[in-house]
Structure 1
Amino acid sequence: MRSCAARRCAFPHLPLCIRCSSSSIILSSPFPLTPKFFAHSQTRDVNSFHDSIASFIRFLHQHPPPSILQINKILGSLAKAQHHRTAISLFAQAEFRGFTPDLFTINILLNCYCHLDDMYSAFSILGKIHKMGLQPDTVTLNTLIKGLCIGNQVGEAWDFYDELTAKGFQLDEISYGTLVNGLCKLGKLRSAIKLIRKMERHSIKPNVVIYSTIIDRLCKYGHIVEAHALYSEMIDQGLLPDIVTYSSLIHGHCSKGQWEEANWFLHEMMLKGIEPNVYTLNILIDVFCKEGKIIEAEVILGRDDEMWRETYCCNLHFVNGWIRKNVICAGPVDDMHDSGVAPDVVTCNILLHAVCKSQHVEHGIALFQQMVALGVQPDLHTLNVLIDGLCKGYRLNDAWEIFEYLLSKGYRVNVYTYSIMINGLCRQGLFDEAMTLLSKMKEKECLPNSMTYRILLRALLGKVRMIE
């Protein structure tokens, strides 16, 4: 990740008492800003890492030498634990001492190089396979295709695919699925659909994951008709749509305000025995939060269906009630939790954003507390929304307290966090303090963006008008 990228991790305990206008709200459970893995888990992982290296070194000096299978086992465990450079280094030592790799070893190394975005070395290893008299298998080829796609070299992955098929290599569903996913991420949906047709010509049947990947992107780009066509094709092929397929179509129709169509897919999903998950719920909450559609929420959730009414309708009524009536109901996230659908950080972020946007920062703090109490780990986006809400709610001191605490603990806040705080200072007429924070931001190697400069320019122009 680049220097200003948000790190989606948990944070350490935040000793924060946020004051409400009526009373003091103290976080009932400490702000769970702990690292993603607890200390004892980290210790266990570190010990396992050192044990693997120690075992490997012992193997190298063992007489008689161990089989390549034992070497592969250690290299594979290191690669799985994301210690890619260590795995590559240890293999070099083994090769120096005369160990001859097999295809399994080569595939481990390819995977390591691909995760390090070193495709030059990865393809050099492919050349080594031919020199050893081995033939690459589908794992080898899939790893290289995936590596190119991970590095946003989808065009090169496509060329590599053409080269392989021209040479008679047989690829599988994983190969095609990887290419389809890469093409869809770049918005090349027509090419992704053409690839499905190529699969059919090679007698490989596209699976539900491949179809759902394209349907999801078609819906996100607003191509609902084409998404429907692929959905129908899936059914004709005897494939059963899954939760991703249905959630994508529901989202596509909701985004276009086509509530009846969304309702049809929601009930079709239920009739097929597919239980909606938190992702489906997040889609609905997000759409309704943006639209304030209480009546459509009732249509979507089918009030004649008792299970859906009990599970979801109360929560979406609450969300829309917030937006329409500017009131808060007790325990929104608790209601979701009690109904058997555990909210995740995305759910809470959507709700928190809706509340803070409606300038009900007190309710936002209450929601944040519920989030913490239920064990939902806040991420940097959560903090950005909360800090922004506090700034806009004229609670600059509270916002600054959270911001400074994160900086003091060495957490790399991003350009949006700095810009939110700079905007908060400018809104209070603290232009000099905002410029000081801008300098501090640059010192932390987090470069301001156009939004940051627009905030400062607007504040500066306002200051000049006041002087005039």
Structure 2
Amino acid sequence: MLHMHPSPPIFHFGHILGSLVKMNHYPTAISLSKQLEFKGITPDLVTLSILINCFCHLGHINFSFSVFAKILKMGYKPDAITLTTLIRGLCLCGQLRKALHFHDDLKAQGFQLDHVSYGTLINGLCKSGETKAGIELLKRIEGHSIKPNVVMYNTIIDGLCKNKLVADACNLYSEMLVKKISPNVVTFSSLMYGFCVMDHFKEAIALLNDMKLKNINPNIYTFNILVDALCKEGKIKEAKIVIASMVKSDVELDVITYNTLMDGYCLVNEVKKAKHVFNSMSQIGVVAPNVYSYTIMIDGLCKKKMIDEAINLFKDMQRKNMIPGVVTYNSLIDGLGKSGRIADVWNLVDEMHDRGQPANIITYNSLLDALCKNGYLDRAIALFMKMNSRRIQPDKYTYTILINGLCKGGRLEKAQEVFRYLLIKGHHLNVWTYNVMINGLCKVGLFDEALALQSKMEEKGCIPDAITFEIIISALFEKDENDKAEKLLREMIARGLL
């Protein structure tokens, strides 16, 4: 087409460029646009708008505005689609203030924006946590010829619910009804999520009834939100009632529904029931288990010390050409480590490395814990040193595991050295770390140091729990320091910890 004489009309080139953009071939579209101009073919508003879209998707917002300036210079009047593309580009680049200023400039110059333009701007604000600014913009729209629609309200309601501002979301929902803007399944799904996050399950279930009254059918996403929340709270019976309601409503269960139920069973230690759900997926054949399904089961089996079954599932994944993720490996590594199968742990770490799955802090913590608990203290210290060389930043769990291992391995001074290092570096230690150190001191009869550390933890704003007192009291009774033990026991009662 570029070599034809005369050149075909510009809209033919626009069709090709538009097709390339739909296939996400943005650099190719930009390259061909340049060839158009090189051949002396004058671009029209459509081809220039396509170019703006390409630059926006690639994050080159300055180039987008250069093209916009060219549009104005050539005397074209950009339409709402072009302007919306620029607004979306600014939002995608996180330049929300510029997007708002650009909106104001456009209005001042008499350019016309549409529902999509405002919906895009509100969406950008809400996704960046600027929900209040989104509400303010919604109010400003009402003063213009454009009326707010369900998409705009849905975007803000979703943002409010994700920020746990459910009461505000409900007020906005009521405002929609007053203004006779009909809510849809997206509105209800967002509210469902909000109620579930706040553990307001009665209100969430009531929403399902409200949807029926309004002749709005809940979709799989709506139901999955409720099932997931109930399972996370251990309310498996209630979750199964919701699933039965899904089946009754002819909503087909998807892999997320099955995974959620399996995860719920594992959380309440009913791994056999989770296994039944997993097997039923494979037998029914309608929904195939995915990597996450296997990961849930492997993790659940490992926590119940059913390691061989977990390994069989892991091998089954590999037979089916499923690539285990870091979480899958970490679950199995932790299970093997807790079962004392150190050789298998190292084989799995090597396999992770060979498959290009880099070990993360959770992997190292599991390895460290396994080595410490199985008496490989020198190897644990070497591994800890290796973390720094591999730029893996130890966290509070890493240090606590190491301190615990050193204390139990008879290296109290080294444990104290690590503990002091944490305090000097200003780490905010939790009660678990203090308890581990106090336990180490008590085991060798250093009660005064243990009591001093208990006082120090309170000075640092870490409140001792029942376990803190129980560690010291038990050790004191064992050493016949009954008076000190009874004094601490009275203090424990006074604090309401007994």
TM-score (norm 2): 0.67
Describe the shift of the 1:143–1:101 C-alpha distance in structure 2 as closer, same or farther (beyond 3 A).
same
1:365-376 matched pairs, under 5 angstroms: none
Alpha-carbon distance in structure 2 between the residues aligned to 1:132 and 1:170: 19
Query: Quick check: 1:408 aligned with 2:320?
Result: no
348 and 157 in structure 1: CA distance in 2 versus 1, 3 angstrom threshold: farther
- Are residue 177 (structure 1) and residue 123 (structure 2) matched? no
CA distance in 1 between counterparts of 2:291 and 2:143 reads: 41
Task: Confirm or deny: 8 A CA contact 2:334 2:366 kept in the other structure.
Answer: no
Kindly tell me: are residues 236 and 420 of structure 1, through their superposed partners in 2, closer, same or farther at Cα, counting changes over 3 Å? same
* Partners of 2:316 and 2:212 in 1: CA distance: 30
Indicate the larger mover: 120-129 or 185-194: 185-194
Label 1:105 to 1:348 Cα distance change in 2 as closer, same or farther (>3 A): same
Distance of aligned partners of 1:255 and 1:399 in 2 relative to their CA distance in 1, 3 Å threshold: farther
| 1:110 equivalent in alignment to 2:52 | yes
Please state how far the C-alpha of 1:130 moved relative to its aligned partner: 1.2
Counterpart AA for 1:187? G
What is the aligned partner in structure 1 of residue 229 from structure 2?
287
User: CA 1:369/1:236 → structure 2, altered by over 3 Å: closer, same or farther?
Assistant: farther
| Paired residues, number | 396
Alignment check: 8 A CA contact 1:282 1:346 kept: no
CA distance in 1, matches of 2:205, 2:155: 21
**Paired position in structure 1 for 2:277:** 332
Tell me the residue number matched to 2:62: 120
After superposition, give the CA deviation of every residue in 1:355-403 in whole Å (9 maximum; x if it has no partner): 3795566576788789999x99778465466456546654666665565
RMSD: 4.0
Counterpart of 2:271 in structure 1: which amino acid? Answer: V
Distance 1:334 1:320 in 2: 16
Q: Does 1:68 align with 2:68?
A: no
Q: Match of 1:328, SS? A: helix
Q: CA deviation at 1:118?
A: 1.2
Structure 2 CA distance, aligned partners of 1:264 and 1:343?
A: 32
Q: Is 1:232 aligned to residue 178 of structure 2? A: no
CA contact (8 A) 1:333 1:370 kept: no
Q: 1:111 Cα deviation (Å)?
A: 0.7
Q: CA offsets per residue over residues 91-120 of structure 1, 9 Å max, x none?
A: 222212201100011111101111111111
Q: Deviations over 1:153-191 (max 9, x none)?
A: 111111111111122212111111111111111222111
CA distance in structure 1 between the aligned counterparts of 2:28 and 2:112, rounded to whole angstroms: 32
Q: Percent identity?
A: 38
Q: Alpha carbons of 1:79 and 1:308: their partners in 2 closer, same or farther (altered >3 Å)?
A: closer
1:390/1:399 contact within 8 Å kept: no
5+ residue gaps, structure 2, are: 372-378, 413-498
Contact 1:359 1:389 survives alignment (8 Å): no
The alpha-carbon distance between structure 1 residues 372 and 308, as it changes in their structure 2 partners (threshold 3 A), is: farther
Structure 2 CA distance for partners of 1:341 and 1:146, relative to 1, 3 Å: farther
Match of 1:355 in 2: 300
Counterpart CA distance in 2 for 1:263 and 1:341 is 27
Report the secondary structure of 1:168's partner residue: coil
86-95 or 270-279, which moves further after superposition? 270-279
Q: Which residue of 1 aligns with 2:365?
A: 423
Indicate how the Cα distance of structure 1 residues 400 and 277 shifts in structure 2: closer, same or farther if over 3 A, else same.
farther
1:151 aligns with 2:151: no
Query: 1:78 touches 1:86 (CA, 8 Å); kept in 2?
Result: yes
Report whether the alignment pairs 1:301 with 2:245. Answer: no
How many Å apart are 1:82 and its aligned residue?
2.3
The alignment's TM-score, normalised by the length of structure 1, stands at: 0.71
Tell me what 1:47 maps to: none
Q: For 2:267, give the aligned amino acid.
A: I
1:243 aligns with 2:185: yes
What letter corresponds to residue 230 of structure 2 in structure 1?
Answer: F
CA 396–167 in structure 1, closer or farther in 2 if over 3 Å, else same: farther
Unaligned runs of 5+ in 1: 1-58, 443-447
Q: Distance in 2 between matches of 1:67 and 1:309?
A: 51
For residues 224-272 of structure 1, give each alpha carbon's deviation from its aligned partner in whole angstroms, at most 9, with x where no partner exists: 2111122222233333323322222122112222221111112223454
| Greater alpha carbon shift after TM alignment, 317-326 vs 199-208 | 317-326
Match of 1:4 in 2: none
Question: d(CA) in 2 for partners of 1:113 and 1:392?
Answer: 50
Q: Distance in 2 between matches of 1:238 and 1:208?
A: 10
Deviations along 1:418-455, whole A, 9 cap, x unmatched?
2222222212224334644664x55xxxxx34xx4545
Structure 1 distance, partners of 2:193, 2:295, is 15
Match of 2:200 among 245, 258, 264: 258
Secondary structure at the residue paired with 2:75? coil
Contact 1:288/1:294 (8 A) holds in 2: yes
Distance 1:384 1:209 in 2: 41
C-alpha separation between the residues in 1 aligned to 2:311 and 2:44? 58
Q: Is 2:110 aligned against 1:165?
A: no
Distance 1:157 1:276, change over 3 A: same
**Which segment drifts farther, 122-131 or 323-332?**
323-332
- Matched letter for residue 222 of structure 2: T
Q: 1:197 to 1:335 in 2, by over 3 A?
A: farther
Q: Distance in 1 between matches of 2:86 and 2:141?
A: 19
In the other structure, the counterpart of 2:433 is: none
- Would you say the 8 A contact 1:331–1:370 is kept in 2? no
- Distance in 2 between residues matched to 1:288 and 1:174, nearest whole Å: 36
Q: 1:80 to 1:406 in 2, by over 3 A?
A: farther
Tell me the CA shift for residue 456 of structure 1.
Answer: 4.7
Distance 1:246 1:343, change over 3 A: farther
Using the TM superposition, give the Cα deviation of residue 85 of structure 1 relative to its aligned residue in structure 2, in angstroms. Answer: 2.2
Structure 2 Cα separation of the partners of residues 273 and 378 of structure 1? 42
